Amino acid sequence: MFLVGAFIAVGSLCAQSTDAEWQAEVAKLKETIQTNPAQAAEEAEHLIKGKNKKNVELLVAIGNTYLDADKLPEAQEYATLARKANGKSALASVLEGNIAMKQKNAGLASQKYEEAIYFDPKCTEAYLKYADVYKSANASLAIEKLNQLKALEPSNTAVDKKLAEIYYLKNDFSKAAEAYANFAMGPTATEEDLVKYAFALFLNHDFEKSLEVANMGLQKNAHHAAFNRLAMYNYTDLKRFDEAIKAADIFFNECEKADYSYLDYMYYGHLLESLKKYDDAVIQYEKAVKMDPTKTDLYKNISSAYEQKNDYKKAISAYQKYYASLDKEKQTPDLQFQVGRLYYGAGTQPDSLTITVEERKQALMSADSVFHAIAEAAPDSYLGNFWRARANSALDPETTQGLAKPFYEEVAALLESKNDPHYNSALVECYSYLGYYYLLAIENPALKAEAKANKDKSIEYWNKILAIDPANATAKRALDGIK
């Protein structure tokens, strides 16, 4: 087999003969080109004298050797000689294509590789080089050409490797994983192939298989950064947090040449948050957003971590940073809703040591203000007024002022008109408040003249609950008490 220059890496190549004598001489020529160009030229000319004057393989080998040394004029000279020796040589066409690629002339290069395939349909290198030309510009063309070669050479792992590379580049991780599976676990695979295979599986959400491949890599190199990174990612996604934290410790503290990304800190943050180490999680999320300031979604994670430790002030502040980072058209009511929900959480949190009565009131009023804006922006949705009702109910915990009454009434009317069982839970909440409100009104001396009407109203709402949920104990007790 011919083993010189650009042909070394591709295995089964274009049809060619072998000649050990000139192969050895061409191998020496590579070094001489760099150290003594004039001597190299003489040696090359000497090689092609006599019987080798029309030896296409030799001429192409010398041309590729010059090309590898970035000596394009000399490479072109030997390509021309090869073409003169055999006008239909696939090898000469490949060399011309290689030269065109060095000259960044992709159009000519692809034409030359196509020409090589025409002259020799089994010219493996031409298929692979053609795929290289188009792998970024037109992946479909590259894949089509590689599949043609795959049909000719089903066991050629170089084809699978190139297909995997292209699918990976175009973010088709399912197909990339399939291609990697054909060779990445075998003897021809490099460590980088194994890493990319594991990443393709991970990105395709096959966490178990990705972890298996990563652990194979770790058996060979326990402190390999990429394999430890993937172990941390996969263990986290699989919710195997004890193993994930061990992998994270090795990744961040023991691996050499670990080039950290925002994703590393983000995953570490997710892991720590899952372990309820909220302050540590925030530190990692902040590192992530500092590394990539465009990832403002991370402020939502920071907000979530603070919320889970009942630090609503910081949770609200972080969420507002996220909201403010968005373009106006992306500041939608559903995102506003989350701000209102955080204010509501602050106003209803059970820990009275972290918030004063006045702060609680202010938080609930802020929640009401946000939900009011949502109700106006999305009048067909019940959520704005539903949460206004909740906020006002919290502002009037004894239900003496009936602050939530108009909002629960409005929500009940809207949901009744929809006649959809999905809203039954919300309706039960509305009816419960209204039934209780009128129950209290029966005993209110100031409303003595309206006692019967209030009694009837209360009974009406409790019966509405039983129509939805016949076993509702609260409604049954209320009705028993009224009777």
381 and 426 housed in the same domain: no
Residue 447 placed within a domain: yes
Characterize 120-144 residue by residue with b for buried, 16 or more Cβ atoms within 10 angstroms of its Cβ, and e for exposed. Answer: beebbbbbbbbbbbbbeeebeebbe
Residue 439 placed within a domain: yes
Distance CA 418, CA 401 (A): 29
Residue 325 placed within a domain: no
- Choose one of 404, 436, 468: the last residue of a domain: 404
60 CA to centre of own chain: 45
> How would you write the pLDDT of the chain (483 residues) with one tens digit per residue?
233 333 333 333 565 445 666 777 778 778 888 888 888 788 888 888 877 888 899 899 988 988 999 999 998 998 999 999 999 999 999 999 999 999 999 999 999 999 999 999 999 999 999 999 999 989 999 999 999 999 999 999 999 999 999 999 999 999 999 999 999 988 888 899 999 999 999 999 999 999 999 999 999 999 999 999 999 999 999 999 999 999 999 999 999 888 999 999 999 999 999 999 999 999 999 999 999 999 999 999 999 999 999 999 999 999 999 999 999 999 988 899 999 999 999 999 987 677 889 999 999 999 999 999 999 998 999 999 999 999 999 999 999 999 999 999 999 999 999 999 999 999 999 999 999 999 998 887 777 778 889 999 999 999 999 999 999 999 999 999 887
Residue 170 placed within a domain: no
Sorted by sequence, the CB contacts under 8 Å of residue 49 that are 6+ apart come out as none
Q: Is the pTM of this model over 0.75?
A: yes
| Counted domains in the chain | 2
Token pair of 227, please?
A: 């394999």
Residue 104 placed within a domain: no
Sorted by sequence, the CB contacts under 8 Å of residue 92 that are 6+ apart come out as 56, 59, 60, 79, 82, 83, 85, 86
Closest CA to 378 of 339, 417, 337: 337
What domain range is 374 assigned to?
A: 332-404
- Choose one of 380, 404, 428: the last residue of a domain: 404
- Choose one of 378, 404, 430: the last residue of a domain: 404
Residue 448 placed within a domain: yes
Residue 339 placed within a domain: yes
Residue 464 placed within a domain: yes
386 and 357 housed in the same domain: yes
349 and 390 housed in the same domain: yes
Name the CA radius of gyration of the chain, rounded.
Answer: 36
Q: Which amino acid is at 234?
A: N
